Amino acid sequence: MNFNFNPEKIDALIQLAIEEDIGTGDITTENLIPEGLRTEGNFVAKESGLVAGLPVVEYFFFKLDKGILLRQEVKEGAFVSKGDVIADVKGNAITLLSGERIALNFLQRLSGIATLTKKFVDRIKPLKTHIMDTRKTIPGWRYLEKYAVAVGGGVNHRMGLYDQVLVKDNHLDIVKGKLLYGVLTHVTAIEKAVSLLRREIKKGALIEVETRTLEEVMDALKAGIDIILFDNMDIEQLKEAVKMVKGWKPAGNTHLPLTEASGNITLENVPFVARTGVDRISVGAITHSAKAMDISLEINLSKNV
């Protein structure tokens, strides 16, 4: 896992979850369960998968009630089977029942993302191609969803628009239409965009450009960028694009750009994409289409703590 979890990054999200679910109080639990009653529960896997989110659940209960104790029965990132106990939690019964749904929302969602990511990673072994996430995340959840990707063995792409340049098709279309329209020049839209960016951004910031054709791949190579994204290319196009990059002779002391494939990547086609020789494959599905893992919180009636 290449992601150092910082709980303070999710303070606002946890507070929002508490406000929208518990609000002014759990009227069912608070009027049914005796105040001060303590109990214990078990988080139990209802299907097999990869566990992610245990530090999140622990931090959530800590914010809700510092008297709640959570003990992990498996490590973060462990594979569990149906029926396995993931963690034990004990403390005030009202707090546990009131926080149950929020805790499960975090644990189920993040475990589902980690599980799907691991499937993609396993599908391309033993190749060294990296499976990467995208910005296709639930608003407010990006930090956690990218954390879950890392737990599943994936690699994080840029966190947002602020930490890496990525020139996409719409950028290039506007450059062509507004900056180069009617201008007689040998400079392509990609070269013009990269030239403008280099004058404005801080030194050291990575520049990635999305390409849709082999002609655009050549333009990106001439521009001397850091990463070339091959968007929605078929396998034969990808092979040729990778061949073009590997055969390119960069000027000066610059290095060959990294290559990345993206667009309609599935568990079925990802091995074929990886075998084209690309360095990275970005997969939006590992976050936006991951199925939540089925996990429950079961109160242990045999124990009063």
Please indicate whether the domains covering 7-115+291-299 and 123-288 agree at the CATH topology level.
Answer: no
The answer to whether 42 and 297 have CB atoms below 8 angstroms apart is yes
Residues involved in catalysis: 101, 136, 168, 210, 231
List the domain boundaries for the chain.
Answer: 7-115+291-299, 123-288
| Rounded Cα distance, 77 and 153, in Å | 9
Bridge partners, 209 (sequence order): 167, 228
pTM of this prediction?
Answer: 0.93
Cα 14 to Cα 7, 64, 273: the distances in Å are: 10, 9, 38
Cβ proximity of 206 and 194 under 8 Å: no
Q: Output the pLDDT for position 179.
A: 63
Backbone angles phi, psi at 298, to 5 degrees: -110, 120
Q: Domain spanning 7-115+291-299: which CATH class is it, in words?
A: alpha beta
Residue 64 identity (one-letter amino acid): L
Q: What is the pLDDT along the chain (305 residues), one digit of tens a residue?
A: 556 889 999 999 999 999 999 999 999 999 999 999 999 999 999 999 999 999 999 999 999 999 999 999 999 999 999 999 999 999 999 999 999 999 999 999 999 999 999 999 999 999 999 999 999 999 999 999 999 999 999 999 999 999 999 999 999 988 887 765 555 466 788 998 998 899 989 888 899 999 999 999 999 999 999 999 999 999 999 999 999 999 998 776 678 999 999 999 999 999 999 999 999 999 999 999 999 999 999 998 765 55
The CATH number for 123-288, chosen from 3.40.50.740, 3.90.1150.10, 3.20.20.70, 3.30.300.30, is 3.20.20.70
Q: What pLDDT is attached to residue 184?
A: 45
CA–CA gap between residue 230 and residue 248 (Å, rounded): 16
